[in-house]
Amino acid sequence: MKIHGGPYQTPGIPDLLIIKEGRAYFLEVKQPGKRPTKLQEQRMADIRKRGKAVAECVTSREQAEEVLNGLHHQPR
């Protein structure tokens, strides 16, 4: 599910929400070489603290698939 930004959306929420086998994955999608903003980093940290959800920044479909398969985690 694509999470669209706008005037009624909480700023900094990751771009995608994926539910796989009952687990929530929040993915912030960036171009290679780009980094999440400080607010985006904070939102992902907040999501991680609240439970078993995964919140990561990815730069490619392959990287997203690695996160979904439990093979890749970005340094925090």
Question: Tens digits of per-residue pLDDT, 5-63?
Answer: 778 888 899 999 999 999 999 999 999 999 999 999 999 999 999 988 999 999 999 99
Q: Across residues 51-76, what is the average pLDDT? A: 86
Domain-embedded: residue 34: yes
What's the confidence (pLDDT) of residue 72?
A: 65
SS3 6: coil
Position 76 scores a pLDDT of 47
pLDDT for 73: 58
pLDDT at 47: 95
| Domain extent at residue 22 | 16-68
In a domain, 11, yes or no: no
Sign of CA dihedral 8, 5, 23, 50: negative
What's the number of domains the chain is made of? Answer: 1
Q: Is residue 75 part of a domain?
A: no
Question: pTM for the whole thing?
Answer: 0.85
Q: Is residue 60 part of a domain?
A: yes
Q: For residue 30, tell me if it sits in a domain.
A: yes
Task: Determine the pLDDT at residue 65.
Answer: 95
